[in-house]
Amino acid sequence: MSTTFCRIVVLLCSVSLAACTSLRVVADRTSGEDTNRPTLDRLVQAKDTVEITLVDGQRSTLALTAVTADAIEGVANGSTQVVRIQAAQIARIERRESDNAKTATLAAVIVVGLLVSLVAAIKAVGPGFPGPP
């Protein structure tokens, strides 16, 4: 088997094992609906990865380390410093979630692609393919 083909198979298998993720809005004060809003600790939890939009429009991605009813703490991408953000400063929260449907679809497409490639390779070899002696 060629080295290039092996590398392609390894790459495709690696991609198929990576979970597809989506951002899901869990809080949005920008729509003007601010009544009876759940507290932060009911929306997100420590170890979640979230995209935060502040009321001033500034955005950041945080890996949450702690969540209380009125504030969140987390580490921004590429940083080791913990940031604390009060609920009153937050306009929107989007939580990164694994999307099982996307992951399963990607895995199915890769498997079908590999099978089609295998069949094409066998047909290309033709009847001269070594059989039993």
CATH topology of domain 18-120: SH3 type barrels. (2.30.30)
* H-run or E-run covering 43: helix 40-43
pLDDT for res 45:
85
Reference 89, options 58, 133, 123; nearest CA is 58
Q: Work out the pLDDT band at 32, boundaries 50, 70, 90.
A: low
Question: What pLDDT does 56 receive?
Answer: 92
Could you read off the pLDDT of 95-120 as tens digits, one per residue?
Answer: 887 767 777 777 777 778 888 887 77
Tell me what the mean pLDDT of segment 4-32 comes to: 69
Domain boundaries, the chain: 18-120
Specify whether the backbone of 57 is left (phi greater than 0), alpha (psi in -120 to 50) or beta: left
> What is the predicted pLDDT for the residue at 35?
53
Q: Regarding beta strands 21-28 and 71-76, do their DSSP bridges make them parallel or antiparallel, or are they unpaired?
A: unpaired
Question: Residue 64's closest CA among 88, 81, 45?
Answer: 45
What's the confidence (pLDDT) of residue 107? 73
Least confident of 68-72, 94-98, 116-120, 128-132: 128-132
